[in-house]
Structure 1
Amino acid sequence: MNIQSYQWSVLKPLLKKRFAELSDDDLKFENGKEQELYVKLVRKTGKSEEDIALIIKGMQKAYLQHSTML
């Protein structure tokens, strides 16, 4: 997973909206601990790690594309 901390402030509420079962603690992001975040998301959502990666990539592309082009 390739997430920057500045991106997480945009992605976190989107994930929380999509998956109501996720808490703020589940979505706590720390640089270098992305794999632990994935494990929490997989466990809480019941989705596979590949599905979570696709969801996050899609959100990055849809919501962050313009900010990365600046």
Structure 2
Amino acid sequence: MNIRGYQWSVLKKLLKQRFTELSDEDLVFERGKERELYVRLERKTGKSEEDVARIIKGMQQAYLQQTTLL
């Protein structure tokens, strides 16, 4: 996983919109502890590791596209 801190505030909001069962505690991001974040997301959403990675990657790509168009 490759999450940049400046992107996380945006990604966190998008994840909370898509998965209303996620809390702020579930979405705590600490550099070097990305795996722990993934495990929390897998447990709370019922998605596989691959699905979580795909969802986050898709959100990152959409975010990057949006920022380059501005």
Q: Aligned residues: percent identity?
A: 76
Q: Could you tell me which amino acid in structure 2 is paired with residue 38 of structure 1?
A: Y
Unaligned runs of 5+ in 1: none
| SS in structure 2 at match of 1:25 | coil
Question: Given the alignment of the two structures, is residue 43 of structure 1 paired with residue 43 of structure 2, yes or no?
Answer: yes
TM-score, normalised by the number of residues in structure 1: 0.91
Q: 1:1-70 to 2 correspondence within 5 Å?
A: 1-67=1-67
How many equivalent pairs are there?
Answer: 70
Runs of 4+ in structure 1 over 4 Å off = none
TM-score, normalised by the number of residues in structure 2: 0.91
1: CA distance, partners of 2:37 / 2:53: 11
Aligned-pair RMSD on alpha carbons? 1.7
Unaligned runs of 5+ in 2: none
